[in-house]
Structure 1
Amino acid sequence: MQQAEKRDAGTSNTFRINYNSADDLACKDPVELSKSLVPGQKTGPEMFSITPVRQGFCMYAARIDPKHLAEYEFEIEHAPLQFGYCLSGSTHTVYTGKKKSTGAQFTNQAGTNSICRMSGTSGVSRLLGQETFNSIAIQIDAALLARYLDVDLKNIFEPCRRILQGESPICGLPMTGAMLNTAHQVFACDLSGSSRQLFMEAKAVELLSLQIDLLTRTPGVSPDRPLMPEEEESIRNAARILIRDMQAPPTISILARKAGLNEFKLKKGFKQVFGTTILQYLQHHRMACARDMIINQGANVSQAADFVGYINIGHFIACYKRQFGTTPGNHKCGHRDS
């Protein structure tokens, strides 16, 4: 990965990427990658982490603060397949070059499973809002993925098939609840050394297995009637309202009214778009924000609980432990010297 001339006083960079195999990313130094994203900025110990899994297969976790990198341009000659799992924040990408992608647009936000084959693309990506963009991605060479896929490509959900065949650069699916849990576990891992490596390898394989299961379901990703574009936008708007008002979230009936849907359509559609219930989505987001405050912003447990809208500290700690497998106090102590 090579960084081109820095632009726009630190808020916009151009990245030129040219690598054929996931192994090319796996051998990169995470610290150097962080520096290439935001030259001269201290971006935190978890800005970028990379886990090699096996030849042609790796996983990385990225945390991007909009205050440090609000916008970047990219030019990609060659890159392996990528499956992404967005946990918080959102980005909007406009493809400005290359025949197969010119004019395409994609919004990646919390709860989205993105499927990318970005070779031969260019464009600009902007972070939306002030929330930190946290995501997990696995990169895998097409030949290795083909060994795991035990179905004909024609049986794969059509938008995904177009990506795998190189006819389109990117599409998004709702993350399943299992994907969401696994991706959160990657960010929550407090292990080190060989134990951490083994844990990360296991989670990368788990994500790949969940991804293949989602790709190969027939006759499509969901047996439900596909949502109309305006219906999906209403569901995503409801999610934005939940995130914006997480300290005092609206009831489902009020949320449905704000989104312009009835309660049944909102609940069913939310499951289709995000692969989880409204309440689970809100709780996952609250806990992710709380963890970010504790580990990266120096907040104590009470401050984090208050910020995400919990009055009862005991209830907050119980929810936090259920999601991350440890208490917020343990996370605070474990990262005190980071």
Structure 2
Amino acid sequence: MTLVQQSARRLFSPASVAGGRSPVADLPKALSSLWMAGAVPRRFAGTAAAGGVDVTAKKEEPEKEAASYWGVAPTRLVKEDGTVWKWSCFRPWDTYEADVSIDLTKHHDPVTLGDKVARWTVKSLRWPVDLFFQRRYGCRAMMLETVAAVPGMVAGAVLHLRSLRRIEHSGGWIRALLEEAENERMHLMTFMEVSQPRWYERALVVAVQGVFLHAYLAAYLLSPRFAHRVVGYLEEEAVHSYTEFLRDLDAGKIDDVPAPAIAIDYWRLPADATLRDVVMVVRADEAHHRDVNHYASDIHYQGQALREVAAPLGYH
């Protein structure tokens, strides 16, 4: 008779049941003996030892770093000074030095009816923002960046699907638009360190982003040229807002606190950089997005740019 059969007979014998003992009471002891004999897999006897002792307990092993999404163990990165790179939202090769020599007066004069509607739409949206945030530029920037990061992602997704449907190149616009969305998101991560938004400001972000996401998607599907013109004017207003931010910093109305660590690493700022340096590079980014979106609207790229890139490659 096998060990399993012997244990089962002792566990469920009439004598044990008639004597008032519950068969389950002897279960831990029986399973423990079976496991010691190799008859029960380890995973079934994890807590089956007598006295509640876990017979499968192992010595504590050092925690292993989680693998990446692709199943490859992440490489431990270090900065130039030898310190460990602590950011997972971006890598050293994603960082850059912003060119802060920008044209603050650059403006696209509305020509078509669509341009005028886009300009009027942006101007009408600025009024409630000014009324709500007043001179609290940190919270204002946080709010604007949660909206500014939407167009690039929406446009990039639409062009991505369009490229798949038509089996044609995108002229590099998909990557450019997604990089714009990522850059705007990094602006948000930076200003979250500068200002701590209140609960009602967070609720406002959710509401505004939800409305703007669906409105911009509808606008982009109807007229990409109009949608990019709206973003171009939005970025013009962002340049203006950050310029006012800098004026208040220079006038001493806002404390020029040390720059957040994430900003120092992302824009390769000096270790002693301040909030003013951060606002300067963010304003330069917004000016770049302004020019890109006005250019995208001007060339009406959804047809022309694709043909210009695809023609030399033999696509029609």
Normalising by the smaller structure, the TM-score range is under 0.3
Query: What is the TM-score normalised by the length of structure 1?
Result: 0.21
In terms of fraction of residues, the more strand-rich structure is: 1
In terms of fraction of residues, the more helix-rich structure is: 2
Query: What is the TM-score normalised by the length of structure 2?
Result: 0.22
Query: Does 1 or 2 have the higher relative contact order (CA < 8 Å, sep 6+)?
Result: 2
Larger gyration radius, structure 1 or structure 2? 2
